[in-house]
Structure 1
Amino acid sequence: MRYEVSEAIPEVAKAIRKAVFVEEQGFHNEFDRTDDASLHIVAYEGDEPVGVCRVFPDQGQTWTLGRLAVLKSYRGQHLGANLVAKAEETARSHGADQLTLHAQERVAGFYKSLGYRDMGIHDQDEGCPHMWMDKPLTVSTGNEPEDRAS
């Protein structure tokens, strides 16, 4: 798996997002001005673009992850989790210490398994239930004490 990070949204990212969010899931407002202020990450399996997401600065050292999409034929191979890890690494390298995201409620368990927590803000996006989630981005030094029960 290789990743490309770019400041401008690549055509392959547009194609993946259109296939997943517009054609498969029925969303209409897929592209917005936030794309212009985002770093776009595309995952490739060989030469084939298979997944995408974007990250962008929000407030202070908090960045937002969004538009995570993996082509249907590549799901179930941990590509989404790998893309999230790459997004976290990318945001951290730009000074982020926390990441937020606006998840479809039906996939909240996926994000919870990656350490994201429900911020208690639930709303609708184009009629689809969503929730805000966040995760602190910590850097492991390898020198942390082991957690030992007394």
Structure 2
Amino acid sequence: MEAKVITTEEQQKVAFDIRVRVFVEEQNVPLEEELDEFEAESTHFLLYKDGVPVGAGRFRIVDGVGKVERICVLPAHRSGGSGGVIMRAIEEYAVEQGMNKLKLHGQTHAEGFYHKLGYETVSDVFLEAGIPHVIMTKKLVVM
């Protein structure tokens, strides 16, 4: 498995399709909330397994801090460390951009996953798109 920065419109369409399948169809997030006004300013990623796109995510800088968003993996591929692969790719990219800290809004059911990757919960539970979330942060080691 590997995750790569999206460089073409076709890759972007594939990433949007994966996000719609996971967030809109599976989790009932409204389409207008999933595909939002921050798409153009974000750096997008695709996760590949055996050359086939199976996951997506995005990164942007908000108030000087790197923000990880829209991490998703298709249901049939949610094992074997797939989520960790895309997260590590985004973290490496963030370091290349000079970021020393990341934050994310993690769904509470995925909080343990993010803890295993070194993220710390720094908020109470709140609703985003009708789904319970928490804010999580991680300090990055900049080389």
Q: State the Cα deviation string for residues 117-142 of structure 1 (Å, max 9, x = none).
A: 011243101221111000001146xx
For 1:67 and 1:121, locate their aligned partners in 2 and report how far apart those are by CA, in whole Å.
20
User: Whose radius of gyration is greater, 1 or 2?
Assistant: 1
- Equivalent residue number for residue 144 of structure 1: none
Could you state the TM-score of these two structures normalised by the residue count of structure 2? 0.91
Higher relative contact order (CA 8 A, sep 6+): 2
Aligned-residue offset at 1:71: 0.6
Runs of 4+ more than 3 Å apart: none
- 1:6 aligned residue: 6
Preserved contact between residue 101 and residue 139 of structure 2 (Cα < 8 Å): yes
Aligned twin of 1:25: 27
Match of 2:43 in 1: 39
Q: Which moved more, 1:84-93 or 1:113-122?
A: 113-122
Instruction: Count matched residues.
Output: 139
Gapped runs of 5+ residues in structure 1?
141-150
Which residue, 60, 84, 98 being the options, matches 1:81?
84
- Among 116, 120, 125, which residue is 2:119 paired with? 116
Distance 2:96 2:43 in 1: 12
